[in-house]
Every structure is written in C-alpha cells, then in structure tokens.
Chains A and B, each alone.
Chain A
Amino acid sequence: MGATSGGRASGPSRPWRALNRAYHGRRRLGIGSLLGLPLTWMLVIYLGSLVMLVVSALYELDPVTQKPTSTFTTANLSAAFTEWDTVWVVIRTAGVALLVTVICFLISLPVAFFVSKVAWRWARRGIVVAMLLPLWAGYLVKGYAWRAMVSPAGNQFAAAGRGGGGFLESTFGWTPGYGRVAIVITLVYFWLPYMVLPIYAGLDRLPASLLDASGDLGARPLRTFRSVILPLLLPSIAAGSIFTFSLSMGDYIVPQIVNQGEERFLFGSVINGVLGAPNQPLAAALTLWPLLIIIMYLLAMKRLGAFENL
C-alpha cells in the first residue's frame, strides 16, 4: 500500500489543527463521533422498527377498515403462540432450517478440508473464490435457475416448448419436481457458501503440526477428526450455521418459486399471507416466532464463539 504518498512537511491547516486539539486525549469524544452516526442509524431505524413491530402486535384490528386500532389486546399473541396449526408450521420450518444446515455442513466439511489441507497450495484461493462467486449471482436468479432445473415434463410452462422437462429430467431422467424436496435443494444451494467459508477459514487456522502430532500419537484420521479437528472447528461451524439456519428460517420466496400449490409449508409464507389478508397486528405477532428463535439461536452460537468467526 502506498501509505507514504506525499509526506508533506507542513502541518494540517488551521481548522484541522483546531479539530485535532479538540480530540487530543479525549477518548469519549473519539468514540462518540465515530460511533454516533452508525449507532444512531441502527438504533433509531432498525431497533426502533423492531420495537414498534412488537408493540404493533398488541393492538386490535378493526374488522371493517382492516386497519389496526388503538385498542390494546393480547389476542394476536395468543393466536400466534397457541394455535396448533401455526405452531406446527413453525416446528416444520425450524426442522427444514435444521435439515438445510446439516446438509450444508455435511457438504462443506469434506470440501473445506480438501481445499485447506489437501489441494495444491496455488489452487486454494481459486477454489474458495469459485465457491463464493455464485453467492453474488442474485437470489432470484438462482431461485429461478432451480425452477428451470427441476421443472417436470408436462408442466404448463414446459408444454409450450418440446413438451419435455427441465434440465434434470431431460438429462438424468429424474427430477424431484416442484415441492418440498426442491425447496430443500434450493435452500441448500443458496446458503452452502456461507457454511463453506467459515469452515475453510477455521481449518486454515488449524496448524498442520497439530494433525501430525495426533497422527504420531497413533490416532487414525477418523480419531484425529473426532478428537482434534471437530472441537477446534466448533466455533466456525456455529458461525456458518447462523446463516444457513436463520436465512432458511425466514425464507418465503423459495416456496413461491419451486413449490406450487402448498402455500403453508414454510412459516414465512404464513406470515406473508396474514399480512396480505390484511391483518398487520397478527402478522407482527407471528414475526415474533422467527425473531425469538433466531435471537435464541444467535445467543447460543455466541457462547460457542461463533461471532469471532463471522
């Protein structure tokens, strides 16, 4: 870096000097002016909105105008948290998010291990970058790509063409079609790089001598993996799982793209449906589910040291 450019001998101009004097030795002023703007933005706009969202769940809906009134009620909350139908969708969504996380982990581990410990040194950066680039291809673009991939033959859109299926069906003769399997595949596809990156970074930090030592002490690779690699890798796995889990938890676009018909499969779709009903207070009460689950998940992962690995 060209940090030495210029190197002017004369000092700063007068207003700068005054400013420098004002800041000199004043730690609090330094923190305040650096952090003031970003912190205000996040507190007022973001945290403020979250608080207002929670509050808005406590008001009754006017059945005629379908607008929130100023009458206090806990009916929305109890509807959101006690109706079995809703709770079941939450459990199912959390299950899908966990499944996606586990699949991402199972794919990421061998891949990250290969890249950081086995692959030729010169190829490492290249493979990691290649893994990350599809992240930026556009969320909808990728979702749409999977729609084209899994499209079954005889589908209304396929019918306009040769009457054949999408890529999977015409190449391999098999497709999951639109539905739950396609949703899980698409979610794994979306969030996989978020798991690969932290695990790769974690493995990269792991000194090779540690693995050699384990081998010298007579451990077979599987034992080394279980007793040495896995414990040290836990924070990285936790960091990756934050993304795979919480991003899957709140998704409601994927079901629209690769799942036709079943509208209440993932919780995000339920919230969106209620919001469009329109019933803003109930929708607000429902968002407390993902909010609480994910904040609890974040706190649990923080204990595992995930935040140092984000």
Chain B
Amino acid sequence: MRLSLPARAALCLITIATLLFLYLPLVVVARLSFNPAKSVAWPGWSGYTTDWWSKAWESDAPREALLNSCKVALVATVIALVLGTLAAMAMTRFGFFGKDVVSFLLVLPIALPGIVTGIALQNTFSRTIDLGLFSFKVGFGFHSLVIAHATFCVVVAYNNVVARLRRSSPNLLEASADLGAHGSQTFRYITFPLVRSAMLAGGILAFALSFDEIVVTTFTAGSGFETLPQWILANFSRPQNVPLVNVMATFVMIVSIPLAWLAQRLSDGGDGGDGGAGR
C-alpha cells in the first residue's frame, strides 16, 4: 500500500501532536514547581525560584509519605515477582484443564476497576474471619497495603516473564535435559538467566504501579498510614500546599520516568525482541 506524501505528512503531524499532548501537562507541572507564586495559574516562562524544592525537602509529611510509598512498593514488588514468575513458568510449560480460567483470574485485578478491588479488599480486611480453629482480622496499615498492592502487581510481573518465556524456544529446555541436566540445573543455568532481565523489568514496573496507586490504596490503607499519592490527593486543593504538591509531583515524574525507560530497555533485551514490554 503506497500512501501519498500528504497522507504520510498528516500521519506524522498527528503523531507529533499526540506526543505533545502526552508531554505538555508534565512540562507544565515541572515548570510550576519553580513558580514563585502560590497558584496553578500559568506564569509564562519567566520567573523562577527553587524555594519550594528546599521547602518540600524540609517538610516532614511529604517526605514520610514518600518513604511509606517506597516501603510498600518494595515489599509488594518482591511478593508479586515470586508469585508472577511461578505462575508464568507454570503457564508456559504446561497445558492443563482450566488454564484459561487461571489466565482470566490473573488479569482480573487490573481489568476490574480499582474501586471494586478496593471496596472488596476493605470489606475483607475489616472483618473478623472465623476459621473454626482460630479467628483473625487483617486490619489496616502497612501490611494490608502490601497485600492489596501485591495482588494487582502480580499480573505485571507475570506479563513480563510470560512474554519472555513464550519468545524463548522450548528446545532449550529439551536440549538441557538431553545433555543430562536435572530440573534444578535447567532452572539455574537456562530458565533463570533467560528470564532474569524480564523479572527485573517486571519488578520495576510493579514497583512503579504500586508507587502510583491511589484507588485501592485509599480503601486499604486505614487512617494511620499515608502514601505519597494519598498526600497529594489530600493537599492539591489546599492553596497553601499547592507549591509543595507541584514539587512532589515533579519529583515523582523525575524518578519514575527514567525507571520506566530502563524497564523498557530491559524487557526488550534478551533477544532484541519485538515488544512484549508489558505494562
């Protein structure tokens, strides 16, 4: 199919416009974080101050929220990586009855709206669960957030590892077995090196997903524990805190965008692959 030059130019323009649409708001927030005035009114390109950055650095609440977010994301990511990798290995190596249902179940937590997941988990965590022999209550706080976040991060780790395993030839495993390797050796010398970078990429993306999450977080954090997104949500409409929100928002972008880029590079690695970067 040969497209005419005007058609190609139009497509190019649409793409450039879309990229502008995607990046412009981010640039605007970054610029606002250096804005001398306490407002979201556009100040133009002149007039800069780094006062808000130093002020944000000295404020306890946003810094503590940032640390809390990091802690939750770290633990949730480790759990999600273990669960996701195990599931990916099972799903690519074996065919079994109910496989479709399992893949459906793994996708469900990100396909269902956060509010459904959030209210469902909140309901469960707030109840006393009686198992006959003993009863317990999950309650709210750091641990409930970790459980909730790990649940929807599993699919990210799973997607990355499954994509890598699907792209790698099953002949490798057979060759390994033919050469006399045992199951544990095949894992150590073949499977693990193969999926290592995909796991790292999945881990970074899971971390970012958990770090950013707000809906499920609102329902499962309880009152004593605040993550960075929660802090932003609580403060963006308080005029005196608008400058700090600008700074924290910009900070999140500066940290997470290069990390996402790194993850992208890692999940492309391995075989010079074709997408499958997961999300």
Contact = CB atoms under 8 A, between A and B. Distances in A.
A43 B108 CA distance: 11
Interface stretch (B41-49, B53-61, B70-78): B41-49
A249 interface: yes
Contacts of B24: 149, 167
Interface string A146-190: 111101010011111111111101110000000000000000010
Contacts of B194: 1, 3
Contacts of A2: 193
A127 interface: yes
Given A144-B232, A146-B25, A148-B29, A3 B189 contact: yes
B215 A253 contact: yes
A310 B107 contact: yes
Nearest to A40: B83
Contact of A107 (B18, B25, B42, B245): B18
B154 A48 contact: no
B44 A132 contact: no
Interface in A30-88: 30-31, 34-35, 37-39, 41-43, 45-50, 52-53, 56
A257 interface: yes
A49 B119 CA distance: 9
B160 interface: no
Interface in A12-28: 12, 16-17, 19-20, 23-24, 27
Contact of B1 (A158, A161, A224, A257): A224
B256 interface: yes
A34 B90 contact: yes
Per DSSP, chain B at the interface is helix
Contacts of B124: 45, 48-49, 52-53
A38 B154 contact: yes
A170 B42 contact: yes
B38 interface: yes
Interface in B97-116: 102-109, 111-116
A42 B105 contact: yes
A19 B184 contact: yes
Given A130-B19, A135-B260, A42 B151 contact: yes
Given A31-B94, A159-B39, A161-B38, 17 more contacts: A1-B197, A4-B189, A35-B90, A38-B84, A42-B109, A50-B116, A111-B14, A111-B18, A114-B8, A131-B19, A135-B279, A136-B205, A136-B256, A145-B25, A167-B25, A197-B275, A253-B215
29 contacts: A1-B194, A1-B197, A4-B189, A5-B189, A16-B184, A17-B182, A27-B94, A30-B94, A38-B84, A38-B87, A39-B102, A49-B121, A50-B120, A52-B127, A110-B14, A136-B205, A137-B26, A139-B212, A157-B39, A160-B37, A161-B41, A165-B41, A194-B279, A204-B274, A219-B1, A221-B2, A221-B7, A250-B112, A307-B103
